[in-house]
Amino acid sequence: MLILDTHALYWWVNRTPDKLGQAQIDAIETAETLAVSAMTCWEMAWLVAHGRIVLQLPVSGWLDQVEENGVAIIPVSRSIAERAVSLPEHHKDPVDRIIIATAVEHQAQLLSVDERFPDYQELRGLLV
């Protein structure tokens, strides 16, 4: 399973070639299973509501298309929530901490360009 963080999902769906490298695109397109945290859905809605990004569809329709194209949405379980709180404080953004905890909990690869993610030893061997 390959989990995409919010920006990776947005850039991949919108085919933003200058944001993702070819190796990252190849990893996405060859992954057996693609997934995002449910918090990515929340963050996409928040980014649209606050004018940070623009989508061609209402956010609910955009997310419907993401799911229809085979991207699984992983719920935030109790164990993911607890793990997110117990992670080192390298990253203050709670959404990113939940995304990290989701990857760790599922021992899934995580595609992100966030510069703080490599600081997490918990992600060793999981970051793409």
Q: What's 19's domain CATH number?
A: 3.40.50.1010
Tell me the angle at which helices 6-13 and 38-49 cross, rounded to the nearest 10 degrees.
70
Evaluate whether residue 103 is within a structural domain. yes
Is residue 40 very low, low, confident or very high in pLDDT (cuts 50, 70, 90)?
Answer: very high
Evaluate whether residue 49 is within a structural domain. yes
**Mean of the per-residue pLDDT values of the chain:** 95
Q: In the chain, how many H helices and how many E strands? A: 6, 4
Residues 101, 50: Cα–Cα separation, whole Å: 26
- Domain range for 30 is 2-123
Looking at residues 6-12, what average pLDDT do you find? Answer: 95
Under 8 Å between Cβ of 124 and 18: no
Is residue 15 very low, low, confident or very high in pLDDT (cuts 50, 70, 90)?
Answer: confident
**43-96 pLDDT, tens per residue?**
999 999 999 999 999 999 999 999 999 999 999 999 999 999 999 988 889 999
Evaluate whether residue 14 is within a structural domain. yes
pTM above 0.85, yes or no: yes
Can you list the alpha helix ranges (DSSP code H) found in 50-121?
59-68, 78-86, 94-106
